[in-house]
Every structure is written in C-alpha cells, then in structure tokens.
Amino acid sequence: MENKPYGKLLLSLFIAYIVIDIPLFIWAASLDALKIDHIVVIVANSLLFGIAAFTMSMHVKAIKNPNPNVFARSVMGGTVIKLFVLGAAVLIYLAAAGKNRSIYAVFVAMGLYIIYSIMEVRIALQLNKKKDAGN
C-alpha cells in the first residue's frame, strides 16, 4: 500500500515524459532545421524525468513525517536539485559542444525545467491535500 501513491505519481510523470518525447522524435528534422538540437532536448527531458522521479520518492517519504516542515523542505529541495543538476548539465554541454552548441535547445530545456517544476509542485500539493483529508 505504501508504494501505491509513488507508483501512481510516477505513472503521471511518465505519461508527461512520453507526451514530450514523442513529438521530439517525430519532428526531429524540423527541430534541427530550426537549430534546436533534438538530442539535447531529449536528454534534458530524460534527465528531468529521472530527477522528478527521485524527488517524488522524497515527497512520498516526507509526507509520512509528522513534521510539516519536512514536506516543505522536500518540495523546495527537489526544485533546487533539479535546478543545479540541469544547470551543471547545461554547462557541461556548452563546454563539450564547442561551436556546434544549440542555444535554442538549452532554452527549450529551461522551459522543460519550468514544466517539470510546476508538475512536481502540483502533484506534491495533491499528495499533501490527500494526507490532510484523513485528519
């Protein structure tokens, strides 16, 4: 029963991941023509999905704690973890790609960061609301 909320949350994140990834594969040539490297965006989407899955497990664990501050720190910490990991990935990409870098792909990845952060906070708030409903 304890894994059920995490599995349901992970399913909703996975559906969002697939909904974002499918158009990237379908319109890969069009994106490349617009100077948006679709591989960079796919890697960023995968990275953000992995981090979101990790932070969701943090939220499920934190919601069981009687101290409400633990849950708030979990949500804020998840957002900060995503920000730092994606920032480090962008810096590594820009250094490794050299002149072949796609700045537009970085901007799309930043947009994905915002989308995943909004989704994570909304799901976390719903999880918190369900916990409060039992009290």
pLDDT along the chain (135 residues), means of 10: 66 92 94 94 95 89 88 88 91 92 94 90 78 56
**pLDDT tens, residue by residue, 37-75:** 999 999 999 999 999 999 988 888 888 888 889 988 998
Q: Give the separation between CA 133 and CA 118, rounded to whole angstroms.
A: 22
- How many Å apart are CA 31 and CA 26, to the nearest integer? 10
pTM higher than 0.75: yes
CA separation for the pair 55, 107 (Å, rounded): 23
Q: What is the dihedral of CA 104, 107, 112, 115, to 10 degrees?
A: -130
Q: In this structure, are residues 50 and 86 in contact, taking their beta carbons and an 8 Å threshold?
A: no
